[in-house]
Structure 1
């Protein structure tokens, strides 16, 4: 006769039998009514234990009531649970292997996140015992490897991936993930990815890969990082990138759900019609309540969702593998009218940039997006594609905060979109306690893009006046809050980048700006700044900077012309029209000498070691999000 799934607790209440088994397993030995310490852990007990489907919430409650010391006190029971579950997984018999995986996932979530006095040794004691740790953990990893690679179906293999994600995330700062570096799971994860039909099933494996790559990668030669270097399977890479793109869309849509920022005068129907997809437009769309200002602020602060951790995996793959980068930049959407992965990534990034200031977590992931963009724009073959008119794409950019950039309808080069992202980021993250890393990375990306455009003499369509306006406004901001800015770490690097970027534009603008009028506009914007550049030079002690001197000299040259009694405007005329200033600028070229400093078009390639601290902070944030993700995927 099969055991009843219910156990009578009293005449009035019943509980699932599995809950009774959980409580029996983790009952204090002196509470045993029969006085036999291990009678309840007989073979019959375990047969019954792995017969019942797990009750996740109930098991969490049982484990949640136990303190770390109580968990250590009952380590013989937890160790036997761990060994028995491993044995069931290896037997590969349905449904007990699946039940064992689910049980272990819940158990690891609860047991490994307790605040132990000595996390590494205490966790090993709870799972395997110090003396048997290497044997038991190797057996565990081997069992997971077997299921991930060759399990009887994808749902079971997905459970094995989730279990591995659980133990890696929960034990990231202990020795536990080292067992996954002793045995290489990379081939199994790639085989699993190849076999997945649903891209959402790829996400946990890709997420897990990011954690494994980042486990102590600055302390020893991480084998997963080496695996990324030479992986060239296009089909698997494209599957990963498809999953990444769909994840970016979901994360972006969470921001839109808080505040729909469709440009004024646009609607879902008109937008779909614009892209030739009018047949998909609904006849009517139910209105959704708009949250108030405080509620929106709170909702935005909670974003992005935990799936954002895939940015770490994406960064690591991009940093190690040129095939991955090429596919990320080039891959077309699976169906016509869908968003390409690169378009989805850029769209999400624009929302991250506008909301980077809302939390330290959001700022860290914003930096990670910038790391990835810098890697892409530094590669000559990739930046050529990013700037090519033949590889244009539509991208929905964030418009949730003023000031807004001009709306551009239709497809654009990725390079022009990246410039928009950076300009938006510069405009929307101005604080006295400035995020120096954000601005240093953003200006560095602009410098690399303009350097390529200048050297290759490529002219992309862009509203350049917005870039100059933002850069010069940033000069004003820094000059206003110089005392706050100079006290910040690495602020001098950021200031040098800003100066060099504008000096490059002045000295090489003819190579990439679309026409003389656009070049004139740059000088016009510079003249408009008045004496800000001189104040900026003095405030940041840049008298010895050749690039800074170039900016000041150009500004002084035109101010002298405008103030001269021989100037076009005529003696005594105080207010010049834009047309009159424009004529002075054109005539001023004849007597203008721009002595740009050497090395404006030289920059150092991305070096991960330079950002070690930031990457460690990102990894810790991703670990925390992995813990949240386990509840949602």
Structure 2
């Protein structure tokens, strides 16, 4: 009997998608370069991409092998550009997705000569300008006028991929030649959700910071004169939503919302927690993983949006006004400014955990300094119009008094500075950070004093914090003096307290608050004299003013004047206050002129820090697109 021609073929154990075979064909190692046919590419861009499979294939290719295969990688790049330009579905979308995976893998390899080798892989040195210009032009067209928002978003992400991964090569320069700013702004205008705006903002931040200190960056110039309120409000809203998401990641590790009153909380407070009807701890217990390591991994990669936020704030007054005044989308939601201040609070309490966290905390303080330096914005931040409710971090002691309800933005910023000072004390002090905190405090007090503006605030916490900082610096004087800019920090700290003493009656809400400042100073005893001697400030008029005021009242309290009748008598707080009031008549404060003077923020002075921040944002951009 003849065997049947219909024999059953065994099915393979694993099924390989057709697109994987096409990827392997593109990057097959051959002795001679072979042009792949039009039919091959037609089929290639009809199959849905397999991102994971394509990435695996590309990861197996060494940098040298990628250079060896440059004829085919160039074909892939140029054919994909052509498909994007044709704007025909679904090939253009497939081409964008394919390029995003390809560029991420190809640009991440460790080439011997990164700029020239990458250009060789993508376009060839002879055709680089033409091919790369066509590529950026194609992206520009899609971002601006693509047939769907999802396609346009993919073009933004592809642009972000090549900018982030190739930031330290010549590739981003092609984006500066073309100027994607109008396309990015139009894309932002058309976005339906704030999350869609994030990649465009991220891309803008990287482009603004590309060689910004080496040449006149066109994106930086674009920020200066952009005045479209509707688009700026969308950007500000996106920033606020992102800040909430980043803040909530800290809360997820340790929920620091104070527990409302209950029988259980009251029993716990007086030490009878065993009688509590519930066993809920006063501080929620984090999961099994060490909370320190969890906190150290934060903030999330979306934090890079603070770079474009800073650049906008530094360049554009319309942006600053909208950041300060844009209301919450819904009454139950925080405003963008509230969200930004809340995130800054959490960043400040955890800034010491990593250099990355510290850099982004610095960046948020740059933005705050720019805001408080503007006199019209400072006025708004102090007014009832600016009142807002902000969730401040309470994950580490010491805690500031819990204020419920709305209050002025300035009072919240004061809290941020106090918390920052209290929670980052260490021998290897972050001097730059403390200069920023003290500098922002000086700018706020200077404005309040000149305009005689009085805001409700727990001023005693500020004086307590500043004087504690004096004691800390004195204790670790040998460690502090060796740090760069430490003498500058010491000077502005002394000037700030001396200014408060000489001008406090202009901004403190009542005489009792002014008396309290002197009370806190008297409480320090001889700490100020020790500080003066430790840092060699004998010739400082401001420092001597502080010491003289303290000594004046110490003499009175020890019975050196009529105000304290009995020497060695232990005085009550009320009696001390009476001595302070009576002592004004014999007190002379010789404060220096210009204690409240400050220099406006100048970006070039923070050049090194901003370059470090840009590098951190680049790495976060890579993380962000991997998450997506």
Structure 1-normalised TM-score? 0.93
Contact residue 393 and residue 411 of structure 1 kept, 8 A: yes
Moved more, 539-548 or 422-431: 539-548
- SS of 1:319 mapped into structure 2: helix
The CA distance in 2 between the partners of 1:147 and 1:420, in whole Å, is 46
1:188-246 CA distances to partner (integer Å, 9 max, x unpaired)? 10111111111111110011000000000000000000000000000000010011100
Q: Which residue does the alignment assign to 1:38?
A: 34
1:67-124 CA distances to partner (integer Å, 9 max, x unpaired)? 1111111111111110000000000000000000000001111110111111111111
Q: Which residue does the alignment assign to 1:233?
A: 228
Q: Which residue does the alignment assign to 2:274?
A: none
- By how many angstroms is 1:48 displaced? 1.3
Which of 93, 101, 104 is matched with 1:106 structurally? Answer: 101
Alignment of 1:438-449 (within 5 A): 438-449=433-444
- SS of 2:235 mapped into structure 1: helix
Q: Which residue does the alignment assign to 2:609?
A: 614
- SS of 1:15 mapped into structure 2: coil
- By how many angstroms is 1:10 displaced? 7.7
Q: Which residue does the alignment assign to 2:85?
A: 90
Q: Which residue does the alignment assign to 1:257?
A: 252
Alignment of 1:312-391 (within 5 A): 312-391=307-386
Contact residue 563 and residue 582 of structure 2 kept, 8 A: no
- In structure 1, stretches of 5+ residues that fail to align are 1-7, 31-35, 268-284
Alignment of 1:35-184 (within 5 A): 37-38=33-34, 41-184=36-179
2:392 is the counterpart of 1:397: yes
The CA distance in 1 between the partners of 2:543 and 2:144, in whole Å, is 59
Which of 421, 429, 446 is matched with 2:424 structurally? Answer: 429
2:544 is the counterpart of 1:549: yes
The CA distance in 2 between the partners of 1:420 and 1:9, in whole Å, is 72
- By how many angstroms is 1:435 displaced? 0.5
- SS of 1:336 mapped into structure 2: coil
1:228-278 CA distances to partner (integer Å, 9 max, x unpaired)? 0000000000010011100000000000000000013279xxxxxxxxxxx
Q: Which residue does the alignment assign to 1:24?
A: 25
The CA distance in 1 between the partners of 2:560 and 2:37, in whole Å, is 104
The CA distance in 1 between the partners of 2:147 and 2:289, in whole Å, is 50
Moved more, 332-341 or 215-224: 332-341
Contact residue 559 and residue 568 of structure 2 kept, 8 A: no
Contact residue 318 and residue 324 of structure 1 kept, 8 A: yes
The CA distance in 2 between the partners of 1:293 and 1:12, in whole Å, is 41
- By how many angstroms is 1:289 displaced? 8.8
1:47–1:290 distance in 2 versus 1, CA, 3 Å: farther
The CA distance in 1 between the partners of 2:489 and 2:374, in whole Å, is 22
Contact residue 9 and residue 15 of structure 1 kept, 8 A: no
Structure 2-normalised TM-score? 0.94
Q: Which residue does the alignment assign to 1:484?
A: 479
1:289-344 CA distances to partner (integer Å, 9 max, x unpaired)? 94358621111001000000000000000000000000000001122221100000
Q: Which residue does the alignment assign to 2:455?
A: 460
The CA distance in 1 between the partners of 2:502 and 2:114, in whole Å, is 58
- By how many angstroms is 1:25 displaced? 1.1
Q: Write out the 4+ residue segments of structure 1 that deviate beyond 6 Å after TM superposition.
A: none
2:291 is the counterpart of 1:296: yes
Q: Which residue does the alignment assign to 2:585?
A: 590
Q: Which residue does the alignment assign to 2:276?
A: none
Corresponding pairs, count? 601
Q: Let me know the Cα RMSD of the aligned residues.
A: 1.7
Q: Which residue does the alignment assign to 2:243?
A: 248
- SS of 2:290 mapped into structure 1: helix
Which of 200, 206, 217 is matched with 2:195 structurally? Answer: 200
- In structure 2, stretches of 5+ residues that fail to align are 1-8, 263-279
The CA distance in 2 between the partners of 1:437 and 1:9, in whole Å, is 70
Q: Which residue does the alignment assign to 2:563?
A: 568
